[in-house]
Structure 1
Amino acid sequence: MTNDTRAAADTVSPAPNYRSALTLLATLFFMWGFITVINNTLLPHLRSVFDLTYTQTTLIESVWFIAYFVASIPSAKLIERIGYKRSMVTGLTIMAVGALGMIPAAEIPSYYVVLLALFVIASGITLLQVAANPYVAVVGPPETSHSRLNLVQAFNSLGTTLAPLFGGYLILGRSVSGTTQDPSTLTQAQRLADAQSVELPYLIVAIVLVLLAGVIAWYKLPDMNAANRRGAAEERRKHSLWSHRNLVFGIPAIFIYLIAEIGVANLFINFVSLPEIGDLTHEQASRYLFILWGGMMVGRFAGSFIMQKISAETTLAAASVGAFIVMLIASFATGHLAMWALISVGLFHSIMFPTIFTLGIRGLGPLTEEGSGLLVMAIAGGALVVVQGWLADAYGLQLSFLLTAACEIYVLFYALWGAKPTNALKEKVVKSV
């Protein structure tokens, strides 16, 4: 094949390669969404097993999100050295190791070994996030990056939608604490048996992760080649991340949004189980969590379509206003009105993360990896769910959701002003290998 023929082939062939690659990447988004939301059924379970306060319970999730802060920049550096594909395989392998770590944690059982195992899983997810989010954003035309990432994130939401059913059946449904109205009455023997109910689900997860890592390793994934990475490294030295307003304000936007999303998800089962709200067992409440995450999935599919017609900033602003209103209702109403208000916030939250992310890296050009690493680091905002846990202990679980309402206000500010780009650089597009 001549050089001209090869160049022509490269011009026409990437699109189908990208479509198949995005289909495969959708499975990554699905898996990390699935594993993250298993925590929503795991936390009320562990609260009963270890007899924890709300503060101690939310501390488990805080450790999960601290991993994003610790692992994000090393993940960005690793991607620069070994590329997207190997980084994704590495991330899946790390996640599998952490999932297997939940088995000895349950056998002991140990609150601290649980924290360590979840930290390892979250570190692997961090590597996937840093690699996959910018990859999807730059793998096609810049003007459709918001729509494209929302579409692939919809498969993340498919995972988050199915996870409560999985966790509800295999964790809560197989434990005494999950099927009784008052988990505080458990005997020590029942608590030990309940702790071991997490072994099977995490073994299944570990096996799936190893298989997926093998598929990614085998698949010829379009990637930036070494020459492109070296050229981008030279170009990066000429620019500063901090001259881009959309990134500077996007980092706290991700951080603050995650406080809202994680607070709702992790305290949802406890909230709708309250006698004055839903008066449900934890297993029954997990079915409504399925609807919350299902709303996020529907919202992301809809958002992918809407943002082909309406600007990402306008869509984000509308979603933040809707979320603010329903969180006020959830904070002050009672009964099914409060419960369904909290469920509906999933629909409004759906487009927030992928839209803030793509707005944040817009115009970064060769700085995209570093910017992505900082935005993923900001996911550590989820660690501050422990603040909501403290508010729930001090002022009541329902009033603690006023913190979520306050978070929506910053997202509105970002949509209206903070997301406007400054010093935009030429967008780069991933090339096929």
Structure 2
Amino acid sequence: MASLYNNSQLDNSGSNKAGTEGSYRFALVSLTSLFFMWGFITCLNDILIPHLKAVFSLNYTQAMLIQFCFFGAYFLVSIPAGRLVKKLGYQKGIVTGLIIASLGCALFYPAAEFETYGLFLGALFVLASGITILQVAANPYVNALGSSETASSRLNLTQAFNALGTTVAPYFGAVLILSVATEATSALAHSAEAEVVKLPYLLLSGMLAVLALVFAKLKLPVIQSHIDLNSGETVTYKGRTGALQSTHLVLGAVGIFVYVGAEVSIGSFLVNFLGESHIGGLKESEAAQLITYYWGGAMVGRFIGSAVMQKVAAGKVLAFNAAMAAILVAVAMLSSGNIAMWAILAVGLFNSIMFPTIFSLALRDLGPHTSQGSGVLCLAIVGGAILPLLQGITADAIGIQQAFFLPILCYAFILFYGVKGSRI
């Protein structure tokens, strides 16, 4: 593993260690903007779901097709994205992802103009394809910019800025989408409601395009060990010819699948759950602003987790957080009023470190197969497509509150992975 992170592989010019560490810091600071943007965009889905559910008179199952199309892109695009990043390198891969994501945001304009749910789903798929390429490129890049021992801490720190994006997004969506839609319902024709998404997504398209231009010009360190494998030859590392021969990676992929599924399922149902008469009885725009606490908890938790994992083994921290999240979801299922409301919002604090910790634990000791492993893990993000859809079907059948038993099962597996499954 030491060879993978050896400084010489990032800087072949013989520059001193201090200079290399400075380039690490600059690269990490630059990458935080990406983590912020894709967190912001992903969390806006939680606002789109109740909005489009009302506009097109959807049931929960139909509304969850938003997450199915968005996270389904991870399943279809991750492996090609892994190959693309291996061929182009991390920096050009990041630029490509930003351009595609910008195009996806721009496609919201014609979707709103034609008032067609299918076009919204198509725009989300294109947007998510760009985000997938960003994930495949940026996560292992952060993992490799420093020592393997502090990889979990480093990835948690950058993911904290991802959580900052998810914290800001609900308020942004509540103000620019849900509150405007509420006014539209009373003051304009019903068909005009779909158009309120035009401005927010055109702004995002422009911001992503600017980021693509910036990253095309930046001078970032090159990870040689990950981009010298374009010959198509089989590479053997510690007796393994591929990432899937590592059990901790395979179990980590299952962990990513159930974690993203649980996180997205909870976030997707929050506005409607808080609107239930026996929970909060809140209007959509009010409930959307409260989601800030859910994602804000994730942001705070990642900063705390980044510090804690400098001293405590990442697997132990992961197991503790999974147990606490499962308990809180159970409380939200079995209670009502403020107790249920704040229990489900507090889950975000313990979700905080799960994705980056599972990701970095799963990529340990993969050597030249790291980029393949990253593609497999991003493939597993399809859990965000499948589990919310299952929870939507369950909610239509037995009720929104009872359907939260699915995330509890997910957290049980993550507890197992932290205790045992992540061991090499």
Which bin holds the TM-score, normalised by the shorter protein? over 0.9
Aligned twin of 1:416: 419
Q: How far apart are the structure 2 equivalents of 1:66 and 1:272?
A: 27
1:404 aligned to which of 399, 403, 407: 407
1:30 aligned to which of 29, 32, 36: 36
Question: What letter is aligned with 2:397?
Answer: A
Aligned twin of 2:315: 313
- 1:4-15 to 2 correspondence within 5 Å? 7-15=13-21
Q: How far apart are the structure 2 equivalents of 1:226 and 1:408?
A: 34
Q: Over residues 372-398 of structure 1, what are the superposed CA-to-partner deviations in whole Å (9 max), with x where a residue is unaligned?
A: 000001000011210000010000000
2:368 aligned to which of 366, 375, 384: 366
Change (3 A) 1:6 1:344: closer
Matched, 1:63 2:63: no
Change (3 A) 1:188 1:101: farther
Question: What letter is aligned with 1:195?
Answer: A
Q: How far apart are the structure 2 equivalents of 1:414 and 1:97?
A: 37
Shift of 1:216: 0.4
Q: How far apart are the structure 2 equivalents of 1:327 and 1:118?
A: 28
Matched, 1:217 2:216: yes
Q: Over residues 160-196 of structure 1, what are the superposed CA-to-partner deviations in whole Å (9 max), with x where a residue is unaligned?
A: 00000111110011112xx69xxxxx58963311100
Q: How far apart are the structure 1 equivalents of 2:200 and 2:180?
A: 11
Q: Secondary structure at the match of 2:180?
A: coil
Question: What letter is aligned with 1:132?
Answer: A
Structure 1 stretch 12-21 or stretch 361-370: which is displaced more? Answer: 12-21
Aligned twin of 2:260: 258
1:390 aligned to which of 389, 393, 396: 393
- RMSD over aligned Cα, in angstroms? 1.9
Q: Secondary structure at the match of 1:173?
A: helix
Q: How far apart are the structure 1 equivalents of 2:412 and 2:110?
A: 43
Q: Residues 226 and 370 of structure 2 are in contact (CA less than 8 Å); yes or no, is this contact kept in structure 1?
A: no
Question: What letter is aligned with 2:389?
Answer: V
Matched, 1:229 2:256: no
Query: Could you list the runs of 5+ residues in structure 1 that have no partner in the other structure?
Result: 181-185, 422-433
Q: Residues 86 and 226 of structure 2 are in contact (CA less than 8 Å); yes or no, is this contact kept in structure 1?
A: no
Q: How far apart are the structure 2 equivalents of 1:111 and 1:242?
A: 38
Q: How far apart are the structure 2 equivalents of 1:402 and 1:142?
A: 36
- 1:98-177 to 2 correspondence within 5 Å? 98-176=104-182
TM-score by length of 2: 0.93
Question: What letter is aligned with 2:245?
Answer: S
Aligned twin of 2:3: none
Aligned twin of 2:380: 378
Q: Provide the aligned length of Structure 1 versus Structure 2.
A: 410
Q: Residues 30 and 159 of structure 1 are in contact (CA less than 8 Å); yes or no, is this contact kept in structure 2?
A: yes
Q: How far apart are the structure 1 equivalents of 2:86 and 2:12?
A: 26
Shift of 1:13: 1.5
Question: What letter is aligned with 1:244?
Answer: S
Matched, 1:20 2:22: no
Q: How far apart are the structure 2 equivalents of 1:144 and 1:135?
A: 14
Change (3 A) 1:374 1:142: same
Structure 1 stretch 188-197 or stretch 33-42: which is displaced more? Answer: 188-197
Question: What letter is aligned with 2:145?
Answer: V
Question: What letter is aligned with 1:118?
Answer: L
1:97 aligned to which of 91, 103, 110: 103
Aligned twin of 2:56: 50
Aligned twin of 1:202: 201
Change (3 A) 1:413 1:21: same
Q: Secondary structure at the match of 1:106?
A: helix
Q: Residues 291 and 343 of structure 1 are in contact (CA less than 8 Å); yes or no, is this contact kept in structure 2?
A: yes
Question: What letter is aligned with 1:311?
Answer: A
Q: How far apart are the structure 2 equivalents of 1:161 and 1:67?
A: 23
Aligned twin of 1:429: none
Q: Secondary structure at the match of 1:174?
A: helix
1:81 aligned to which of 82, 87, 112: 87
Aligned twin of 1:424: none
TM-score by length of 1: 0.92
Query: Could you list the runs of 5+ residues in structure 2 that have no partner in the other structure?
Result: 1-10
Q: How far apart are the structure 1 equivalents of 2:229 and 2:339?
A: 56
